[in-house]
Structure 1
């Protein structure tokens, strides 16, 4: 862990949070992941050894606590860790506003669909379980995915769930990420045939409404001051 050896609270906080992957682990815990495997799903580029080391460091400084469990290890944020929620949120808004769109080589279909499922409002989903079939054209297998919609929420799978399929989408991962992150509109992507739907007009309209957009595409929830005091 880097020691800046400064009195400034920003420096002391950065000693803990500035380590690689640390804030992404906090992000996963904020999303409700608790089991080691669930956390690992949200940080697919992280080795299991490094994940274990970061969780140990966060536990030692009081950001994370290890829960009593049998079998797979489980973790949760402490009150100090939960107070990082607004920090992570503001980083998301800042990144969406000021950083360029993600590079195609940085996109992972599993992680993108996980993010999309987390952002879907269950209240907008159909009353019966249905599936949306997706085919990504430019990635290594698996290229076929399904999103399952139900009143309880949304999830993704590589295996055919054997549910009624409302529509099919053929696209690149970058095209779907572009509309999800608000860098282009559905209308633009459909007009350019970067995204192609198979389904009725109603099904297409419903699907777009169910998927929605990443929350960071919306304006910041509070006005930010032009000047910050640190």
Structure 2
């Protein structure tokens, strides 16, 4: 027997959703992932074979269709994912640690949360350097325009308009809503430089993380 073998509805739900990575795959699809590669970008540590296996399980359960779209049963999990996030933010039981810091996942989330309506009329390039990481995991370039948003892990040679140089924990703290932009700029090792007008506006280019304490209605975060 591969499941819990219990009649309880919670146990039956966990028979489908309780394996590692499964709910995070649902999260990625809720956030707009439309391809296998999109999911991999959002979950950079998942083995591709594991992702394939979990997708088969979700399709067999009627949660994901033959493409990468959630069914009605899948979209019904949105409040479940939100409440899990709220619980994690509100309690010390799921406190953020250094093991949770992932520059690839962070920059991908920033990419998909760009507010294109807040961008300048011309294309701008934002370079992000995480000073506590090796170059292969510490340098990213966001090419931002109202027509498209692209995240690059290699320098394409396009002129950079704004540089953000900072430790991973500081940028993550800002993204999660633990730090305001002004507080981020006061953190040790944080520097923003480049075009003066653009660097003063760049934090408005992002809608921010979907599950900030403010968005979840948590007034006293456990972190």
TM class by smaller structure: 0.7 to 0.9
String of CA shifts for 1:19-72, please: whole Å, max 9, x gaps: 1100011111222223222222222222122111111111111111223xxxxx
Q: Which runs of 5+ in 1 are unaligned?
A: 68-74, 224-230
- Which stretches in structure 2 are left out of the alignment for 5+ residues? 219-223
Question: Is this contact kept in 2: 1:180–1:212, CA < 8 A?
Answer: no
Matched length: 216
Partners of 2:112 and 2:104 lie apart in 1 by 12
Q: Aligned partners of 1:101 and 1:166: how far apart in 2?
A: 35
Aligned-residue offset at 1:133: 1.3
- Residue aligning to 1:18: 18
Q: Aligned partners of 1:119 and 1:34: how far apart in 2?
A: 15
Choose 84-93 or 153-162, whichever is displaced more: 153-162
| Kept after mapping to 1: 8 A contact 2:89/2:213 | no
Could you say what secondary structure the match of 1:5 adopts?
A: coil
CA distance in 1: counterparts of 2:215 and 2:154, whole angstroms: 37
Alignment partner, residue 140 of structure 2: 145
In structure 2, the residue matched to 1:228 is none
- Contact 1:123 1:151 (C-alpha < 8 Å) held by counterparts: yes
Instruction: Name the counterpart of 2:124.
Output: 130
Does the C-alpha gap of structure 1 residues 29 and 212 become closer, same or farther in structure 2, counting only changes over 3 Å?
closer
In structure 2, what is the Cα distance between the partners aligned to 1:185 and 1:97? 18
Q: In the alignment, which residue of structure 2 is the partner of 1:43?
A: 43
Alignment of structure 1 residues 107-186 onto 2, 5 Å: 107-142=101-136, 143-152=138-147, 154-186=149-181
Structure-1 residue corresponding to 2:75: 82
Shift of 1:186: 2.3
Using the TM superposition, give the Cα deviation of residue 185 of structure 1 relative to its aligned residue in structure 2, in angstroms: 2.3
> Larger deviation: 103-112 or 13-22?
103-112
> TM-score, normalising length from structure 2?
0.85
Matching residue of 2:58: 58
Residue 44 of structure 1: SS of its match in structure 2? coil
Q: Secondary structure at the match of 2:65?
A: strand
Question: Do the aligned partners of residues 121 and 104 (structure 1) sit closer, same or farther apart at CA in structure 2, a change above 3 Å counting?
Answer: same
Q: Which has the higher strand share?
A: 1
Corresponding residue for residue 226 of structure 1: none
Matching residue of 2:221: none
The higher relative CO (CA closer than 8 Å, separation ≥ 6) is in 2
**Shift in Å at residue 191 of structure 1?**
2.0
TM-score, length basis structure 1: 0.83
Q: Is the 8 A contact 2:23 2:81 kept in 1?
A: yes
Q: Distance in 1 between matches of 2:9 and 2:168?
A: 40
Q: RMSD across aligned C-alpha pairs, in angstroms? A: 2.4
Query: For each residue in 1:176-220, what CA deviation from the matched residue of structure 2 results, as whole angstroms up to 9, or x when unmatched?
Result: 101111122222232233311113543222112213532322535
Deviation at 1:221, TM superposition (A): 6.2
SS at match of 1:77: coil
